[in-house]
Structure 1
Amino acid sequence: MKRNILNSALLGVALLTLFSCRPKKEIVKAPEAAKDVAVADKKSDNFAMLRSRDLTFNTLSLKGKAQLNVDGQENGVTLNVRIKKDEKIWFNITALGGAFEVVRGIITPDSLLLMNRQQRTVLRKPFSYLYDYTNKQVNFGWLQSILTGNTFKEFMVEKSSLKLENGVWMLNGTEQSLAYSVLFNTLLKPSELHLNDAAEAQALQVNYDKYTPINNELFPLDLKINSAVSNKKINIAVEFVKTDVNVGVEFPFTVPKGFEVIR
């Protein structure tokens, strides 16, 4: 039973570091790489230029349809995500066109709640519980950045390598055993993110596509995540069908009667 609970937790966590219907939204195509690209003399100024393209928000409400492949078993689900910036990520995963809720969860900078309705359990753990499935350097801000296509402040530092190659920016670096790289497109938004920890046999690749304008900024509608932790592999392909910024959001989560709470 414990193994099933852990597998369900892993699926929920992987979905958060996520996302098939076609949204009727404006798509901003990245132009071909220009020959002349403005490059500042200081690396910090180039970092500031890339950070200036981050999506600014107080709250986000997202809905997407996802195809999940967990160790070769594929399923289609509906995913709802609500974010209060730097404070809370709420999500639920439903099947059968949204008629049946499978998992509901909340992640904060210091805690995790995960409800599995099929197993009638609620997992209540500190944020560090996620380190069983990912690198110990991962924090709440990283999950938030993965979902929104924003930059990682821990990577935008002087010791990182930032180069302009073929008209697009490439960011590379290492932090202890973790190697990271980010490829930006000509919109100055991430198109690929790679995190690799060979010592822990952990790898994560995120691909972004189809940026749409939100309040004169850009948000990625397409998200593809490939995660490998030891011998477990999870592939997720999501296209968001609804994106609302700075709207009122609620984070409902109550433990139903008869559910087992696992601490």
Structure 2
Amino acid sequence: MKRNTLNSFLLIAVVATTIACRAKKAIVSLPKQADSTAVSTTKKSENIKMLRANDLSFNTLSLKAKASLNINGNSNNVTMNFRIQKDEKIWVSITAIAGIEVARALITPDSIKVRNNFQSVYLKKPFSYVHRYTNNQVDFSLLQAIFSGNTIAAFMKEDAVLVQENGLWVLNGQQQDLAYRVLFNTLLKAAEDNLNDVKTGRALKVEYGAYQKVNAALFPSSIKINSIAGKQRVSIDLDFLKIESNVPLEFPFSVPVKYEVIN
């Protein structure tokens, strides 16, 4: 039981990256069509650079969101706080409605630590542990891109297929067993990421809501994540309440002596 519950929290954390908002920032309206200055569809490298140019540039991100979690049909409403040090670490804290922290995670390019306060257990694993739930091509930079609403660098390559469908950019490709399809909106920001493992049937779908301004760049006001890995079905709906970038952050993570270390 402890292991199953901890694994669920782990999956939340890994599938689960200015001026602070006291309320939501003004939503940026979608133009009817993409920027007419976009490069010709025959010039793939220039178009890829154009899409990547819209990424949010940051050193740190601090995010607070109301979240609806559904794990194999069991739903809970919680608050999730994310702190991201670019290319170094992602810190996640999950609190219940009463303000009680039920889990905390610290993810780096090399390792994953998860503290389950609900059951007083702790897990520390190499980053490759996430591949129990996802494709082997999923790495730290991909998770960071998902939580920051940025393009996934590993997909923005010359061997990908980049076309326009109904006036919108669509990126398709495959890396080993991982097939991906990314849809962009008329703001030239990601609207939807689809990842599918063609061998195992594991799938991850990320949908981005309306975008808002953060330091002259764009950040999604909401993110919906749906994951399928074998019998595991996890969905996370994040509705961001506060977004701060490039502010000093701490990433506290300690484990009480009484906690049981599990494998």
Please indicate the TM-score interval, normalised by the length of the shorter structure: over 0.9
TM-score w.r.t. length of structure 2: 0.93
1:155 aligns with 2:130: no
1:59 aligns with 2:60: yes
1:110 aligns with 2:110: yes
Question: For 2:233 and 2:199, how far apart are their aligned partners in 1?
Answer: 17
SS of residue paired to 1:15: coil
User: What amino acid is aligned across from residue 147 of structure 2 in structure 1?
Assistant: L
- Residue 125 of structure 2 is matched in structure 1 by 125
Question: For 2:117 and 2:85, how far apart are their aligned partners in 1?
Answer: 25
1:222-261 mapped onto 2 (5 Å cutoff): 222-261=222-261
**2:35–2:186 Cα contact (<8 Å) kept:** no
User: What amino acid is aligned across from residue 127 of structure 1 in structure 2?
Assistant: F
In the TM superposition, what is the alpha-carbon distance from 1:10 to its structure 2 partner? 2.3
User: What amino acid is aligned across from residue 84 of structure 2 in structure 1?
Assistant: I
**2:102–2:116 Cα contact (<8 Å) kept:** yes
**1:66–1:239 Cα contact (<8 Å) kept:** yes
In the TM superposition, what is the alpha-carbon distance from 1:192 to its structure 2 partner? 0.7
Report the count of equivalent residues: 257
The 1:35–1:251 alpha-carbon spacing in structure 2 relative to 1, beyond 3 Å, is closer
SS of residue paired to 2:173: strand
**1:210–1:222 Cα contact (<8 Å) kept:** yes
SS of residue paired to 2:155: coil
1:95 aligns with 2:96: yes
TM-score w.r.t. length of structure 1: 0.93
5+ residue gaps in structure 2?
none
**1:14–1:234 Cα contact (<8 Å) kept:** no
Is 204-213 or 3-12 further displaced after alignment? 3-12
- Residue 82 of structure 2 is matched in structure 1 by 81
Is 6-15 or 160-169 further displaced after alignment? 6-15
- Per-residue CA deviation, residues 175-198 of structure 1 (Å, 9 max, x unaligned), is 111110100001000001100113
The 1:34–1:255 alpha-carbon spacing in structure 2 relative to 1, beyond 3 Å, is closer
In the TM superposition, what is the alpha-carbon distance from 1:96 to its structure 2 partner? 1.9
**1:12–1:103 Cα contact (<8 Å) kept:** no
**1:37–1:167 Cα contact (<8 Å) kept:** no
User: What amino acid is aligned across from residue 79 of structure 1 in structure 2?
Assistant: M
Question: For 1:91 and 1:7, how far apart are their aligned partners in 2?
Answer: 14
- Per-residue CA deviation, residues 108-141 of structure 1 (Å, 9 max, x unaligned), is 0000000001111110110011111111100100
User: What amino acid is aligned across from residue 147 of structure 1 in structure 2?
Assistant: F
- Residue 19 of structure 1 is matched in structure 2 by none
**1:35–1:167 Cα contact (<8 Å) kept:** no
Question: For 1:67 and 1:52, how far apart are their aligned partners in 2?
Answer: 31
**1:90–1:105 Cα contact (<8 Å) kept:** yes
**1:23–1:240 Cα contact (<8 Å) kept:** no
SS of residue paired to 2:25: coil
Identity %: 50
User: What amino acid is aligned across from residue 259 of structure 1 in structure 2?
Assistant: Y
The 1:85–1:188 alpha-carbon spacing in structure 2 relative to 1, beyond 3 Å, is same
The 1:35–1:67 alpha-carbon spacing in structure 2 relative to 1, beyond 3 Å, is closer
In the TM superposition, what is the alpha-carbon distance from 1:166 to its structure 2 partner? 1.6
Question: For 1:95 and 1:8, how far apart are their aligned partners in 2?
Answer: 13
- Per-residue CA deviation, residues 35-79 of structure 1 (Å, 9 max, x unaligned), is 956224521111000000000000001000001111111100000
1:132-151 mapped onto 2 (5 Å cutoff): 132-151=132-151
- Per-residue CA deviation, residues 124-160 of structure 1 (Å, 9 max, x unaligned), is 1100111111111001000000001101111111110
Question: For 1:90 and 1:198, how far apart are their aligned partners in 2?
Answer: 30
Question: For 1:136 and 1:189, how far apart are their aligned partners in 2?
Answer: 26
User: What amino acid is aligned across from residue 159 of structure 1 in structure 2?
Assistant: D
Question: For 1:33 and 1:213, how far apart are their aligned partners in 2?
Answer: 19
- Per-residue CA deviation, residues 64-111 of structure 1 (Å, 9 max, x unaligned), is 0001111111100000000000000001000024x2000001000000
User: What amino acid is aligned across from residue 211 of structure 2 in structure 1?
Assistant: Y
**2:27–2:210 Cα contact (<8 Å) kept:** yes
